[in-house]
Amino acid sequence: MRKALFLGGTALVVTLVPQLALAAADCAGLLRDGQHPAGLQVTEAVETPPTDDIPVAHCLVRGKTPDRAGVDGKTYAIRFELRLPKDWNGRFVHQFNGGNDGVVVPALGPLLGGNKKDTALGRGYAVVSSDAGHDGKAAPEKGIAGSAAFGLDPQARRDYGYTAVATLNPLAKQLVETYYGKKIAFTYGIGSSNGGRHALMAASRLAGEFDGLLAGYPGLNLPKAAIQHALDVQAWTKVNPDIAKAFSRDDMAVLAKGILKACDSLDGLADGVVGDPDACQTAFKPETLECTKAGDTGCLSAAQITALKTSHAGPRNSKGEQLYSEWDWDPGMASANWRGWKLESAVDAWGRKPIIGVMGAASLAQVFTTPPTPVGGTPDALQAYLLGFDFDRDAPKVFAKDATFTESAVDFMIPPGSDNPDLKAFRDAGHKMIVFHGNADPVFSVLDTVNWYRKLDANNGGKAGDFVKLYRIPGMPHGAGGPSYDDFDFLSPLVAWVEQDKAPGAVAAGITPANKEAEGLAGKRTLYCPYPQVARFTGAAADDESRFACR
C-alpha cells in the first residue's frame, strides 16, 4: 500500500505493508520481515524492564530508514527509537526534539515542564524519537561546527526542517499498531524549541496527522532568529571584546531589579513576577538604570544600556527593515539559562563562549544560508563569522536558493503561511494545539510567537482560541528554570480538549525543587492564562493559585 502525504503541495510517498498483528505483543517479533514497513530496517527490539530512570516496562525498538548518499559524500538515514509500554493507553506521541537534532534522544516523551520524571511514556503512551535524518557526529573534521555540517546536503536540510517527521510518523504508527494489534486511538506531537517549531510545522504541513500538538517555546522563524545571534555578538563586543565580561552576573541582576521595580505590581501584586508583560514593555525604561557618574554602583554604563536596547529592538538592515522580532523585558534575563545562551556558556571546549556564538553561528552559516557559508570549527572562528555578518549582504541568504539547494532556509524551516497564518486545514480537521513560551526566552522571542498568534486570531475572526491556545510564562527563559513557576502540565488539558472537548482555561503551576532561581517564589503557586488574558491578583490572602483570576 502506498500513501501520499502532501507537504505544502509536494507529495511524499511512503510504502506501507498491510498490518499483521503480532501475537501477544511479541517484541522480538518486530525484527521479522513482514512485521514492519517495507524498506524500514528494525535493528533492535528488546523487552526492557523498569529501571530507576525509566520505571516503565516496555519494548524498545530501534531502526532506521534506508541509507542514502548525500551530495557532501556523507551517508544519511533517519534513525529512530520507539518505546512501547506494557500498559499501553492506546495513544501515540511523536517526540519532536530540539537544537540541531542529529542524535536519537531517548523516546520518553518529556512533558516540557520542570518535572523531568513525568513523561508520556510513564503515562502509558507509545513514544517515537528520531535524529531528524542526520548524525550530528558525522563531521568531526569540522570541529565544533560539525553538528551543523549536515547543512551541506539539501535533503538533510529538508529532513531537518520537515520531511523526517512526515516520513517517520506513518511508519512508527504502523509499528505501534502491529505490536498491539489494534488501531491507535489518538496521536499527539510534543516538542520544545526547534521541537516546538516541528509542532507548528506539523499543524501547517501535516494538518491531518496529529489530533493534538503541544509546542513549547517554538522556534517559529528559526532562520530569522539566527540573524539575532550576529546582532547580539556585535552589540556585546562593543561593550567588551570578551563577551562574558560585557555584562557580569551583578549587572544582569541590576537589570532584573529595574524591570521588577517598574513592572512587578502591574498585575496587582508585587511578588517577584512580571505578570502583565505587555504593560511592562512601555513601563520599563532601561535608561533609568544608567550610571550618572564614574564610580557609581548598582547601575549600568551607557555602553551597556545601548547594547541592551540594540539587542532588544531586533536586527534591521540599513533600510530600517525588521529582519526578526523585537524582544520582551523580563527579570528572567538575569537567569543562568539566559546568560548561557547570550553571554557565557559553561562549555570549556567552546572557550565558554555563549551558545549563540557557537552552535547558533554554525547553524546560521551552514544550514540557514544558501549556499552554505564556509566557517571554521573553533570558537574564535565562529565568533568572527558573526562579527563579520552584514545585515544587508548576508541576511538575504536565508531566503536564497540555487541549483543544488532548491529550497531556501525559510522554505524548509518556517511553517508555510506563518507570516499570515490561518491553519484552516488543521482547524477544519477538528485538531487542537497548545503553545507556551517563556517571556525571558533568549533564543526565540516570545513577541514573535505572540505576533503569530494575533494574526492567527484575526484570520479566524477572533476565534483562534477555539483550536489553538497560547500561554505566556513570566520569568521563564529557554526551558524550565529562571525566576518562574516551572512545574506545570499542559499535556493533560490538551488531551482533555482533544478527547473530551473540554477547552483549556487557566493552568495552575508551582515550582520544581531543582529550580533554585525561583527561591523567592518558594511555597507559592500561580495561574497561567490563555492569551490575551492576564493572571491578576484578586486580593485573596493565600499563596496558591486562588489569589489570581484570568482577566
Active site residue 478: yes
Instruction: Give residue 39's pLDDT.
Output: 76
Instruction: Give residue 6's pLDDT.
Output: 38
Q: Per-residue pLDDT for 366 more than 60?
A: yes
- The pLDDT-based confidence of 358 (bands split at 50, 70, 90) is very high
Q: Per-residue pLDDT for 82 more than 90?
A: yes
User: C-alpha 184: how far from its chain's center?
Assistant: 26
Between 21-25, 86-90, 249-253, the lowest mean confidence (pLDDT) is in 21-25
Q: What mean pLDDT is predicted for residues 480-491?
A: 96
Instruction: Give residue 477's pLDDT.
Output: 98
DSSP-assigned states of every residue in 76-142: E--EEEEEEESS--SEEEEEE--TT--S---S--B-SSS-TT-BTTTTT-EEEEE-TT--TTS-GGG
Between 4-13, 304-313, 507-516, the lowest mean confidence (pLDDT) is in 4-13
Q: Which of 36, 58, 229, 478 is catalytic?
A: 478
Report which of 221, 201, 109, 129 is spatially closest to residue 161, judged by C-alpha positions. Answer: 201
Q: What mean pLDDT is predicted for residues 155-178?
A: 97
Instruction: Give residue 294's pLDDT.
Output: 86
DSSP-assigned states of every residue in 399-461: S---SS--S-HHHHHSPTTTTS---HHHHHTT-EEEEEEETT-SSS-HHHHHHHHHHHHHHTT
Instruction: Give residue 237's pLDDT.
Output: 98
At 24-64, the pLDDT tens digits run 479 999 999 888 888 799 999 999 999 999 999 999 999 99
Active site residue 441: yes
Q: Which of 441, 448, 457, 487 is catalytic?
A: 441
- Per domain, the residue ranges of the chain are 2-177, 223-246+285-328+343-412, 424-550
d(C-alpha 520, C-alpha 536), whole Å? 19
Q: Per-residue pLDDT for 309 more than 60?
A: yes
Q: What share of the chain in percent tops pLDDT 90?
A: 91
Hey, what amino acid is at 333? M
Euclidean distance between the first and final Cα of the chain, in Å? 52
DSSP-assigned states of every residue in 317-350: -TT--BSS------GGGGSHHHHHHHT--S-GGG
- The pLDDT-based confidence of 303 (bands split at 50, 70, 90) is very high
Report which of 86, 154, 115, 127 is spatially closest to residue 512, judged by C-alpha positions. Answer: 115
d(C-alpha 199, C-alpha 411), whole Å? 16
Mean pLDDT taken over the chain: 94
Instruction: Give residue 519's pLDDT.
Output: 87
Active site residue 229: no
Q: Which of 129, 147, 193, 204 is catalytic?
A: 193
For strand 41-48 and strand 10-15, is the pairing parallel, antiparallel, or unpaired? unpaired
Which run of H or E residues covers position 12? strand 10-15
Q: Per-residue pLDDT for 244 more than 90?
A: yes
Instruction: Give residue 11's pLDDT.
Output: 39
